[in-house]
Amino acid sequence: MSERRRSTRTFEVERTTGSHEILDRLFVYGTLRKGQTARSLVANQITKCVAASTTGSMYAFPMGHPGYTEGDGKGRVVGEVIWLTELAATFGLLDAYEGQDFARVIKQVTLEDGEEIWAWVYTLADPGAVKFGTLIPDGDWVRYWTEQG
């Protein structure tokens, strides 16, 4: 079972994007962003990093981490797209780090130059969990966390 969880989900990529390309991009919005506590987990596997955003809502949780949900699709979430190497191992590590509370899904994100691309993103597995969090109105975890500091 754990071997299946570690896959890079090729079928899901083709079904969602219509492409056979290997999806080596991850949109990060919280503790995996540059300068944040969990960045070291993937720092050696990053080949490129670009500022980006996507639609959705961001919530801060009392445990000191954020959660993303697509919500009504009207909000904006700020983050980065990182390009990764060693995908099976890296996504296996990240899936374990994110745990049962988060699900890795494919979503369109907008790079800082306006280009729209597909990327993986970890979303709250249970959208109802937002009732335990605090909405971050501007969708920027780093700004929010710095101001709470």
- Any idea where the domains of the chain sit in the sequence? 2-148
How far is it, in rounded angstroms, from Cα 114 to Cα 101? Answer: 31
Per-residue model confidence as pLDDT tens digits over 60-111: 999 889 999 998 878 999 999 999 999 989 999 999 999 999 999 999 999 9
Q: Is the pLDDT of residue 139 over 60?
A: yes
Contact 118, 108 (CB under 8 A): yes
User: Residue 59, exposed/middle/buried by CB under 10 A (0-12, 13-18, 19+)?
Assistant: buried
For the domain made up of 2-148, give the CATH fold: Hypothetical upf0131 protein ytfp (3.10.490)
DSSP 50-71: EEEEEESEEEEETTTEEEEE-T
pLDDT at 14: 63
Q: What is the pTM of this model?
A: 0.87
